[in-house]
Structure 1
Amino acid sequence: MVAKSAILAISGAITIFFWIILIPALATAPPTHIDIVIIGGGTTGLALANRLSEVPNLTIAVIEAGNDEGSNPNVTSVAGFGGGLGFNTHIDWLYETAEQTGAAGRRLQYHQGRAWGGTSVLNGMTYIRPQATQINAWSTSLQNPGWDWESLWPYYLKSESFTPPTPAQITSGGASYNSAYHGRNGPVNKYGLLNGTFASLVNDTWQALGVPFNADPNGGELRGFFVWSQTVEVQQNVREDACRAYLYPVRGRGNLFMLRGRVDRILWAGKEEEAVRTERKIVAEGVQYTDPETGSIKTLFADKEVILSAGSVRSPAILELSGVGNPEYYPQAPQHPHNKPPGVGENAFDQPNNFITYTTTNTSFTGLAPYVTYMTAQDLLGPEFPSIAARITSQIPAWARAAAAASNNAVSAESIEYLFRTQHFLLFNEDRNVGSTFFILLPFSRGSVHVSSADPGVYPVIDPRYLSVEWDAILQGKVAEVVQRFWNADPVRSIVGEQIQPSLEDVPTNATGEEWEGWIRRSFAPNHHLLGTAAMLPRELGGVVNPQLLVYGTDNVRVVDASVLPTQVSGHLTSILYAVAERAADLVKQRWGVS
């Protein structure tokens, strides 16, 4: 991000907080049969566990590979950009991507949380809701009735407990808000930490460049510059992750159980042949998991549902190891469901993230400034906008054929072309859709996540195929040029010193588009917003789950995590995932006639 990059390069102060937390114990070991088994105790899994355990006669078990890290200073600290302190520690799965041709052949570290709270213990604590028109496209163009901005709106409010910025933060720090856009009684604490006058300097510069101030983007209109809210527990000044928000307050419930284990596969009731003959959907009867302490394999039976909330990497892998998906990717998996959605693990895409950094003449900065600027395609491309939009339209069929070939045609070129044309509309035919700090938010490039072994202990192969569509690299380069232009514009350039990254050797003054692209490919990192690997789409478009989030061909297996999101979105995943989990909990309750 623009301001983040600059300040991060010049500020190294880290504060570590210590305190003691007294929390009631969870219920004792569960029985062998549970009503609902949730695979994964992360952002969505714990939100589900909280809401479903509100029903006293439902029993809920969450199986999570990590531990309770509520007193780990790498989790609780709000210093720096939050979760970076936990990277490469025991709370990080420490994944690595496949070699990325679009990243100059590099293999990239891929951080995902391994703890109660999942990746919410590692993220940057950012909370920005997506653009409303992007969510509406899920319901209209992508044929998911009930999944639009209006339907999700009450769940945004239900999940949130918003603390308004202080008068000082408003008058001198640039913070602002619209009270109607925020909930006050939800589990997730949100607060703006910012103090200081730097925001006015940044705001004035963007306005001089034609980008307006946005008082509060959380109503579904993102274009402009603003100070974002962060997920922080205000009283203790600690990270507000999913564990602290959704699990700790309800640990005394006798119908909620937390188990430690790595889920290996879903177990199916009956025989595949019988399901085919009777045209019934196959039924999950439980899960098999490995105890990390003893290495023993255990079984937990689910009398009602199994819900996958293991994230965009693990959820498709568990489906494949359970025999759901393209048979090419689940060697020796037992008892496959007869109705195999081939899109499992496909449609994987993330956002490439670059940084431009400078020294500064201002010695008063003490930390990270949570600023962001969202720009439209018209803002970014200017007079080139019409010609580029037309050129992208003409190239979509070729991009779709290449993406289909990369998936061994698990998803057809025609289906991918339809998805690309939907994305083209969001980029070029809506006024307020492209967001850009220093990563493009709506890339065309997409890849896959698949297992490579019948051994559940072998990590899945993560292959987002970053920048495999040339346009994504070109657009990232154009964003870089705008970022550089910003830091050299008045009034902000009054505090800017020498450019550190990229160096003038990497990208000289007045660099060409090719020079920018080369540096981008050599230097970008993942944004860790991987999604789409169990997409909520019609089957013919490569979908894995229906609008009830039930896996096609199954009667009682849902997926509730980032893997079901069918498109990338502006904003940040935290906000949309909490809302999706809240709505999914209501879908489960409706299915079983409880409330």
Structure 2
Amino acid sequence: MSRILKLAVAALALTQEACLGHARHLRTSQVFVNSRDVGNEYDYIIVGGGTAGLTVADRLTEDGASTVLVVEYGELSTHADDLRTGNSESISTVQGGFMGMADATLMYDIQSVPQKNLQNRTIAVLAGKVVGGSSAVNAMMTVRGTAADYNRWGSFFSTSSHWSWDSLLPYFKRALNFVPPDADVTKSANITYDTSFWGNTSSVRAGWPSFQYPGTTAQMDSFKGIPGVPFVKDSGSGLPGVYWYPTFMDPVLVERSYARTGHHDVAAKRPNYHLVAGSKVTRIVLNGTTATGVSFVPVSSGPVANHTALETVVSARKEVIVAAGGIHSPQVLQLSGIGPRKWLTSANITTIVDLPGVGQNLQDHPMIQATFMYRSFTFRPSPQDLLTNATFSSWSDAVWAANRTGPNSIATGNAAAWLPFPVISSRAANLSDALTAQNHTSYLPADTDPTVAAGYRAQMLSYATALAANTTAFYNLVLTGGNTNGIVVDLHPLSRGTVTINPANPYNSEPLVDYRALSNPLDVSIMADIVRFTRRYHLDNPSTRAWGATELAPGRATQTDEQFAKYLAETLSPSEFHPVGTCAMMPRELGGVVDEELRVYGVKGLRVVDASIMSTLVGGNTCQTVYAIAEKAADLIRFGPPKAATA
């Protein structure tokens, strides 16, 4: 071989190496289980291969040039018999919608600290531990919040913030491919929808089952018996009310559609996308206050010390993006020396950036047990018939086996009420005034940083306005189509919790999660009115009276707020598995962790992109919102903020 030819071959090899992020080994597979196969350097490193992380990775690698490494704690597949597809049956199946959550191999094992106001009960902190994250195990409910929820985020910055309903709607459209329901089912169930609020380009699909129980439509229509309840044509409109909503489902395959199938499987075909599974990020590597890479170890290595010999350190030429979720993103920042100095000092971690808001402001949707049963619910078939009617059950199994249609294509329902507080409570104005007048700081831990306390006050004043208005949904009841209903949800709790590293063992234990449930006493009053309205819907509604409802819990003897406080202490779950707020997008003087471009305050080259940036909860399941946040974040990373926002 001539010297010139040798030089040309060497140059080509160097070019290939650069395009693959200086990979140590050029492999056909872009998914690694061993850290030795990972490149030395990438343009972007994403911590977390869940809903947000995979979405951002897909978008950043679309240009074919930007190199991305995703570091994911979980595995691509945890079932040997599913290695061909890399997808476990407990994830892919749509029946019931919860099978993935029941699979311990796909879930983190975390318990909250004892909850003082819940009789010291501990609460399971559920989050997906698998490529795809919680989108792989959630209930598949494809619900947005109201426009007011997203306008609230921007309002903490300015009236011209580019975080608003109008600015996010294009990203909601980009995030999901809406597939209308079957025409026959649409007609028989009176399903309404408006495709103008949806897109059709994403590989993540929002689909519908091929069957609906007639009782679901009857339960929706029965809200007409209560004056003032709004009905909305489409769940994506940003309006509160009673409506149908789709499911995270591929309607052709009739399987779960989630971040792994919709983004990872797309990006994995590109040589500039790498993912390493089964790896735990131990810290963000910092050069002063600039993020330069990440350090991680194999999960299989067991307990590790800081700077262990098993660490792999990979450099980021442009940015590190933390997308580990509402529980683990603050943990990663804290382990890296970014967070409240007092917490870091207690764990013997050197403070690089004293950022008091990291791990504060934890919020989740509380689930309230309010169980009712109808003695004379005559709509047939119903979900109970799957258990009690052998003929119907056999037919259901047969049509599913034949062509994946019928009742087994239903996940967790497709109809619900998401109602403003004035609709459900005559005390809305009084509770709004009471919230405004509170000494808000008194309901936070005594050592709360003043900036965090100022942010909490700003949130509470915003909620006080929302309580008295008809634009924000505070109430959620999912309709079952059958003769029982047992859970209602408070969409905007006032209490705030914390997520902190465990000072006794920061590197080898899960963070300490404290919901601080019911720490703001007005939560009891709001939840009491939520149950009272549910009672009204079931028992004191001319449209449901013939169904002969019986209240099983809490029981009609529970009437006063004081009685509800006792009942909630015994039964409330402070989590619907929607943890948000722990790396809040708010001004730094309000306890914020990231700015409007999702950049971590005080650190260059570091962003957070996931549910933890939501300063306040949205009035709906959080998954669809996380997809939209990630889509917007990808544009912020690639193109910067919108021009109008920089003018």
Matched with 2:246 is: 229
Task: Check conservation: 1:546, 1:552, Cα contact below 8 A.
Answer: yes
- The answer to whether residue 533 in structure 2 is matched with residue 482 in structure 1 is yes
Q: Distance in 1 between matches of 2:225 and 2:549?
A: 20
Structure 1 pair 86–133 and aligned structure 2 pair: CA distance change class (3 A): closer
Q: Which residue, out of 373, 387, 390, partners 2:430? A: 387
One-letter code aligned to 1:255 = N
Q: Distance in 1 between matches of 2:364 and 2:301?
A: 36
Matched with 2:30 is: 26
Q: 1:117 Cα deviation (Å)?
A: 0.6
Q: 1:312 Cα deviation (Å)?
A: 0.9
Q: 1:297 Cα deviation (Å)?
A: 2.1
- The answer to whether residue 253 in structure 2 is matched with residue 245 in structure 1 is no
Q: Which residue, out of 93, 98, 106, partners 1:77? A: 93
- The answer to whether residue 509 in structure 2 is matched with residue 468 in structure 1 is no
Matched with 2:113 is: 98
- The answer to whether residue 466 in structure 2 is matched with residue 418 in structure 1 is no
User: Structure 1 stretch 481-490 or stretch 98-107: which is displaced more?
Assistant: 481-490
Residue identity (%): 26
One-letter code aligned to 2:114 = E
- SS of the residue corresponding to residue 518 of structure 1 reads helix
Q: 1:205 Cα deviation (Å)?
A: 1.4
One-letter code aligned to 2:61 = S
Structure 1 pair 413–294 and aligned structure 2 pair: CA distance change class (3 A): closer
One-letter code aligned to 2:518 = L
Q: Distance in 1 between matches of 2:510 and 2:298?
A: 17
Bigger radius of gyration among the two? 2
Task: Check conservation: 1:141, 1:422, Cα contact below 8 A.
Answer: no
Q: 1:493 Cα deviation (Å)?
A: 4.5
One-letter code aligned to 1:343 = G
CA displacement, residues 168-204 of structure 1 (integer Å, 9 cap, x when unaligned): 2222223210121111111210012251322331122
- SS of the residue corresponding to residue 65 of structure 1 reads coil
Q: Distance in 1 between matches of 2:544 and 2:443?
A: 43
Q: Distance in 2 between matches of 1:93 and 1:137?
A: 31
- The answer to whether residue 233 in structure 2 is matched with residue 219 in structure 1 is no
CA displacement, residues 530-581 of structure 1 (integer Å, 9 cap, x when unaligned): 1111101111100011111110111101000011111111122111110110
- SS of the residue corresponding to residue 487 of structure 1 reads helix
Matched with 1:258 is: 275
One-letter code aligned to 1:293 = S
Kindly report which structure 2 residues correspond to 1:176-191, keeping only aligned pairs within 5 A, or say none: 176-191=192-207
Q: 1:293 Cα deviation (Å)?
A: 3.1
- The answer to whether residue 416 in structure 2 is matched with residue 408 in structure 1 is no
Task: Check conservation: 1:358, 1:499, Cα contact below 8 A.
Answer: yes
Matched with 1:20 is: none
Task: Check conservation: 1:121, 1:241, Cα contact below 8 A.
Answer: yes
Matched with 2:332 is: 318
Q: 1:227 Cα deviation (Å)?
A: 1.7
- SS of the residue corresponding to residue 177 of structure 2 reads strand
Q: Structure 2, unaligned stretches of length 5 or more?
A: 1-27, 78-85, 303-309, 384-406, 478-487, 642-647
Q: Distance in 2 between matches of 1:105 and 1:27?
A: 43
CA displacement, residues 269-314 of structure 1 (integer Å, 9 cap, x when unaligned): 2xx4xxxxxxxxx111211111123453221111211100001111
Structure 1 pair 230–571 and aligned structure 2 pair: CA distance change class (3 A): same
Task: Check conservation: 2:360, 2:452, Cα contact below 8 A.
Answer: no
- The answer to whether residue 118 in structure 2 is matched with residue 118 in structure 1 is no
Task: Check conservation: 2:224, 2:543, Cα contact below 8 A.
Answer: no
One-letter code aligned to 1:148 = S
- SS of the residue corresponding to residue 358 of structure 2 reads coil
Q: Distance in 1 between matches of 2:452 and 2:30?
A: 47
Matched with 2:544 is: 492
Please, what TM-score do these two structures have when normalized by structure 2? 0.80
Matched with 2:143 is: 128
Q: Distance in 2 between matches of 1:445 and 1:507?
A: 26
Matched with 2:292 is: 285
One-letter code aligned to 2:57 = A
One-letter code aligned to 2:147 = A
- The answer to whether residue 346 in structure 2 is matched with residue 305 in structure 1 is no
Q: 1:44 Cα deviation (Å)?
A: 0.1
Task: Check conservation: 2:429, 2:467, Cα contact below 8 A.
Answer: no
RMSD of the alignment, in Å? Answer: 2.2
- The answer to whether residue 372 in structure 2 is matched with residue 372 in structure 1 is no
Q: Distance in 2 between matches of 1:305 and 1:424?
A: 38
Matched with 2:474 is: 434
- SS of the residue corresponding to residue 109 of structure 1 reads coil
- SS of the residue corresponding to residue 126 of structure 1 reads coil
One-letter code aligned to 2:433 = A
- SS of the residue corresponding to residue 294 of structure 2 reads strand
One-letter code aligned to 1:534 = C
CA displacement, residues 468-515 of structure 1 (integer Å, 9 cap, x when unaligned): 111112211111121122122344344455444x2xxx5344633333
Q: Distance in 2 between matches of 1:441 and 1:71?
A: 32
Q: Distance in 1 between matches of 2:494 and 2:265?
A: 39
Task: Check conservation: 1:404, 1:416, Cα contact below 8 A.
Answer: no
Kindly report which structure 2 residues correspond to 1:7-26, keeping only aligned pairs within 5 A, or say none: 25-26=29-30
- The answer to whether residue 169 in structure 2 is matched with residue 148 in structure 1 is no
Structure 1 pair 574–414 and aligned structure 2 pair: CA distance change class (3 A): closer
Aligned length in residues: 547
- The answer to whether residue 618 in structure 2 is matched with residue 546 in structure 1 is no
Q: Distance in 2 between matches of 1:107 and 1:230?
A: 31
Matched with 1:14 is: none
Matched with 1:445 is: 495
One-letter code aligned to 1:370 = N
- SS of the residue corresponding to residue 127 of structure 1 reads coil
Please, what TM-score do these two structures have when normalized by structure 1? 0.87
Task: Check conservation: 2:329, 2:612, Cα contact below 8 A.
Answer: yes
- SS of the residue corresponding to residue 339 of structure 2 reads coil
Q: 1:420 Cα deviation (Å)?
A: 1.3
Q: Distance in 1 between matches of 2:29 and 2:251?
A: 24
Q: Distance in 1 between matches of 2:526 and 2:348?
A: 42
Structure 1 pair 334–303 and aligned structure 2 pair: CA distance change class (3 A): farther
